[in-house]
Structure 1
Amino acid sequence: MRHLIAIVALLICSAGSAIAAESPNTADSTQAVMDRTFQRLGAEFIKNGRTDGMSIAVVKDGKAHFYNFGSTTRKKTQAPTERSVYEIGSISKIFTSLLLAHAVNEGKIGLQDDIRRYLPGEYPDLAYEGTPVRIVDLANTTSALPDNLPNPFPQGKVDPDKAPFIALEAMKGFKQDQVYEELKTAKLSAKPGTKPQHSNLAADLLGRILEKIYGEPYETLVARYIEKPFGMASGTGRGRAADEVDGYNKRQVAMPRIYDRAFLMAGGLRYSTADMAKFLAAELAAADPAIRLSQQPAWGDPDDFAVGLNWTLSKTVDGKPRLRMSGSTFGCSSYIEMYPDMDYGIVLLANRPGETQNEMQDLANKALEEIWGKPPALATLEKGLQADGYRNAARVVAEVKRKHPELHLTEDYVNAWGYRLLGENKVQQAGGLFRYNAERWPKSWNAFDSLAEAYEKLGDKPRAIANYKKSLELDPKNQNAVEHLKKLEAR
């Protein structure tokens, strides 16, 4: 099954090796290649209708480069610039978590603190079998809290073009303390600290807690600790409304801008690529102890999949650390990633929501490989798999690792690679990769679910059924396996 992490982390076009010591002329040629690559990929992105306008900022060795495409509005042709302002969605959570890191370093709060210490009233249900929600759980996405509370989104059948307007109207009616009243009866979905899941509520509560311990509004804290030190313009309020892009959904319907404070700490900040380039430069330099703290693993294993303070942490196929985050609002998408060992980072902003954030990640990864080349470990692995016909991927991987010990494969990387091959109708090859995953991670329901899908496409009904059943045994909640088994066993 192509589950969320695999979709969001399409790592097939992975980071290349860090640039070796080269002559001065090579640096100039690298810049020329970078310019050509982004200009071509950006133009194709617009031509293929993935968004109306897009702005890109690349920071390499402390220097910012900007690329802009399309139009900021459908009302007329108006090219974006590095000063065009976009809603950055859930990337706002990184800003809120950076404020938390400052508060921790100043001794104002502890990451292991029970969040109820900082909330008004009693909340007996904010614990699961005796395990409370901690401050760190709010920032590493493992709080197990509901996604939105109060929930402004309309229930039942609603015209998707009207739903955002209904939600914003509902937000306007929220009372200041309504979230606390509803929180008293909210239920946790799992034990806190065990499983990452998206929660705007977690970020909102974290922002409210920070306001309480500092005795100042969130906007003031963002300005003091982030915007002013980094040289960024304000990302709150309506002061730059004239520079804001118009956002549209996938049907090209104009979407409302989000100014309501109910969404601010979780996804309501808005910046230009000029601003975000400064943010990227500061994050890459990591001179501030708070930045370093926010980038450290707070859940999981960075060799596989981990979360810092709202940064997703992983490694490239050649073992280099990688940090990323994406976001989406009603009318905008954002994607940011960094490779500290390469002193390289990129942020992409677009005026189209949803799937656009994943498509921008694809663009970023394609550009990286085109500019700096495919890592030798990956090139050797691909050649070996092709020569083997993908029949025994485990043996090929072992052989490549002897020559390239830096080769680093995760379940999600291989899973995404397999689905790319499926998309190219290379089912046998995809099956070979899925078999490797099932052998390498025998307790993964998703590995067996993906393998079952390959067998199903090959027409091998017995093996498809056996692997769907194995997946379901590992995760009884896997509805994908349930649905496919019903179809296969009914034939």
Structure 2
Amino acid sequence: MKNLFTKTVILFFIFFSCKSQNKKIKSVVINCNKSIEIYSDSIGKHVKQIIDKNAQKTLKDPLINSLSIGLYVNNVSYTFHYGELTKGKGDTPTNKTIYEIASVTKTFTGTLASKAVLEGKLNLEDDIQRYLPQTYPNLEYKGDPIKIKHLLTHTSGLPGGYEEMNEISSNLSEIEFNNTYLKLENKQTKEKFFKDLSKINLTEKPGNTFNYSNFGSNLMGYILEKVYQKPFQQLIISKIIEKQHMYDTHFHTPRDKRNRLANGYLLGKPRPETNLAKTLWGAEGALKSTTTDMLKYIRYQFKNDAIVKESHKKLYEIDTDYWIGYYWWNIKNQNHDVHYRHDGGISRAKNVLVIYPEKKIGISIFTNESAISVNQELSNLVYNIYNELK
């Protein structure tokens, strides 16, 4: 495959469209650089065949009515769009469709943290209380404090959600659970956040156990805000997003772009836009973006950049060949094939972002449908595409 991608560069767009299972399919080959480049018509078609075949298989799931796929291979970026955002409307997503990227936002938070570490504003071994507005004697276990590295690797011992959210009955249906969760989420405030922080009781030494924590991710957002003395969301925009020319990536979608924000569903039922960017810092999952912008972010992950390299460092080992970096929570070495992954999921959308540094392949996939079963479908789609491309 590598030899194929060294062929002569041809400058042009390729647009494809077809129909399958009554779901409209469109795909577009683009490049994130100023010029539009692909490496040959035959290779473009070969890539399209791989993506189309696997996408069509995924679209057989009755819950998944649309897909947007971004593919980065050897410095070339491709986007493909399938299905319809609104069932029966024929509104196929495009490069301008804006999705909520949910927890993939954490990788941006981790990138900013890696920058702060390199600049000497943070130290991975620092006790987090050094940066908090008051003393929290509860944030240590038998003299062992929560450190910065524990927040970045979800090993702090902090709860997964916020106080009341941890008490939601697991007997609720998926829709009932999400309705309850969304109501509680909308009631969060920064004042309440710190009150809840003072009530937490650590049950073991920080750094021992992985426990995915949105609470801890927002605390990291607060700490970054303190060390830079600027609002967290402004920092992410100015120090990462604008530098990568990701002009369609926002915490708060501008009014003139709101018509491009994808509608969302949970088990086929319409769901409202989340308020994560308004309640707390939004460090856990408040960003919104397009497939094109996510390809720019993928390209950034392949740069010979000190901040990126730091953010990819292995900070915690969950198991043999399975590590966590700066919020890259799924670093795996399967058959000597290392990849970095993060998933995003809210009650109206799902997405997966995977980086294969050695093969120079990156994949971003969005759908505007949320359900537990959709997670596995998108995961299968990512790995099927990669296994054929590599």
1:247-272 deviation per Cα after TM superposition (whole angstroms, max 9, x unaligned): 1112x111121123336110111111
Distance change >3 Å, CA 331–CA 301, structure 1 → 2: closer
Distance change >3 Å, CA 42–CA 94, structure 1 → 2: same
1:419-476 deviation per Cα after TM superposition (whole angstroms, max 9, x unaligned): xxxxxxxxxxxxxxxxxxxxxxxxxxxxxxxxxxxxxxxxxxxxxxxxxxxxxxxxxx
Counterpart residue identity of residue 204, structure 1 = N
2:295 is matched with which residue? 277
Task: Please point out which of 208, 212, 228 is paired with 2:242.
Answer: 228
Which TM-score applies when normalising by structure 2?
Answer: 0.84
Shift of 1:75: 6.6
The 1-side partners of 2:253 and 2:216 are apart by 25
- RMSD of aligned alpha carbons: 2.3
Tell whether the 8 Å contact from 1:302 to 1:314 is kept in structure 2 after alignment. no
Gapped runs of 5+ residues in structure 2?
10-38
The 2-side partners of 1:280 and 1:266 are apart by 19
Q: Does 1:370 align with 2:388?
A: yes
1:288 is matched with which residue? 305
Counterpart residue identity of residue 367, structure 1 = I
Could you say what secondary structure the match of 1:291 adopts? helix
Task: Please point out which of 307, 311, 315 is paired with 1:298.
Answer: 315
Shift of 1:91: 0.8
Task: Please point out which of 206, 209, 221 is paired with 1:207.
Answer: 221
1:85-109 deviation per Cα after TM superposition (whole angstroms, max 9, x unaligned): 1111211110111111111112111
Report the number of matched residues.
352
Tell whether the 8 Å contact from 1:346 to 1:364 is kept in structure 2 after alignment. yes
Task: Please point out which of 344, 347, 353 is paired with 1:327.
Answer: 344
1:283-323 deviation per Cα after TM superposition (whole angstroms, max 9, x unaligned): 022x3211110001011178611111111211132x13211
Q: Does 1:24 align with 2:3?
A: no
Q: Does 1:67 align with 2:80?
A: yes
Query: Which residues of 2 match residues 71-150 of structure 1 at below 5 A?
Result: 71-74=84-87, 76-150=89-163
2:13 is matched with which residue? none
Tell whether the 8 Å contact from 1:324 to 1:337 is kept in structure 2 after alignment. yes
Task: Please point out which of 210, 216, 220 is paired with 2:230.
Answer: 216
Distance change >3 Å, CA 370–CA 177, structure 1 → 2: same
Q: Does 1:47 align with 2:60?
A: yes
Task: Please point out which of 377, 386, 389 is paired with 1:359.
Answer: 377
1:41-75 deviation per Cα after TM superposition (whole angstroms, max 9, x unaligned): 11221232241211010111121100111112237
The 2-side partners of 1:195 and 1:45 are apart by 34
Tell whether the 8 Å contact from 2:4 to 2:43 is kept in structure 1 after alignment. no
Shift of 1:22: 7.3
Q: Which moved more, 1:183-192 or 1:93-102?
A: 183-192
1:253 is matched with which residue? 269
Counterpart residue identity of residue 83, structure 1 = K
Tell whether the 8 Å contact from 1:84 to 1:244 is kept in structure 2 after alignment. yes
Counterpart residue identity of residue 255, structure 1 = R
Shift of 1:195: 2.1
Distance change >3 Å, CA 53–CA 217, structure 1 → 2: same
Percent identity between matched residues is 24
Tell whether the 8 Å contact from 2:127 to 2:147 is kept in structure 1 after alignment. yes
Which is higher, the Rg of structure 1 or of structure 2? 1
1:268 is matched with which residue? 286
The 1-side partners of 2:167 and 2:88 are apart by 29
1:447 is matched with which residue? none
Task: Please point out which of 309, 315, 319 is paired with 2:333.
Answer: 315
Counterpart residue identity of residue 191, structure 2 = D
Tell whether the 8 Å contact from 1:91 to 1:327 is kept in structure 2 after alignment. yes
Q: Does 1:198 align with 2:212?
A: yes
Report which of the two has the higher share of strand. Answer: 2
2:197 is matched with which residue? 183
Distance change >3 Å, CA 343–CA 177, structure 1 → 2: same
Could you say what secondary structure the match of 2:269 adopts? coil
The 2-side partners of 1:133 and 1:355 are apart by 34
Distance change >3 Å, CA 181–CA 50, structure 1 → 2: same
Counterpart residue identity of residue 315, structure 2 = A
The 2-side partners of 1:245 and 1:214 are apart by 33
Counterpart residue identity of residue 86, structure 2 = T
Which TM-score applies when normalising by structure 1?
Answer: 0.67
1:354-373 deviation per Cα after TM superposition (whole angstroms, max 9, x unaligned): 3323321211111122233x
Report which of the two has the higher share of helix. Answer: 1
1:56 is matched with which residue? 69
Counterpart residue identity of residue 235, structure 1 = H
The 2-side partners of 1:255 and 1:339 are apart by 33
